[in-house]
Amino acid sequence: MHRDCVIFTGRTDAEGYGRQWDRATARTKYAHRLAFERAHGVQLTREQVLHHVCHTPACVNVEHLVLTTRWEHRSVYHKGQGPACPHGVSPRCLACQRAVNAARQLAFKARQRQAERCQQCLAPRYGSHRLCREHRERENARARRLRRRHPPD
């Protein structure tokens, strides 16, 4: 993030761009496009693209925006590279998506395993006498140790 960025604090989309209601057109628009239109008194067309010099999608500082065409934006500003990924995780970057999905799957599986363990361990407290094999063996081993320490008279 550039140090002079003005970050939009309202609603953002999945790619990090700010979204804001435009009363003039009665539509939701990108916040950086609205800021540019209001600052310069122009109405942008669909073919006109604003390039973020700072590579921060949520930035609405008009000094960080360069008006280009779609072709120029792709060929000049993003020549040979995908969209900028300033934080190392971009929703548009396939490598970042794969890494995020893999991390989510690992976390989900860990939560599932923890839930299974907790259900098995808490079962006796709730009146269930059915334990899994591992917990039944643990209970039997604990009972044997107690009998050895305190033999019946």
Phi, psi of 66 (to 5 degrees): -120, 125
- Same domain? For 99 and 82 the reply is no
How many CB atoms neighbour CB 46 within 10 A?
6
Placement of tokens 């540019």 in the chain: 36
Q: Considering its fold, how many domains does the chain have in total?
A: 2
Q: pLDDT digits over 88-110, tens only?
A: 555 556 666 677 777 778 888 77
pTM listed for this prediction: 0.50
Range of the domain at 119: 95-149
The reply to whether 76 falls in a domain is yes
Selection from 95, 4, 12, 11 nearest residue 57 by Cα: 12
The reply to whether 87 falls in a domain is yes
- Same domain? For 25 and 85 the reply is yes
Q: pLDDT digits over 29-39, tens only?
A: 999 999 999 99
- Same domain? For 27 and 49 the reply is yes
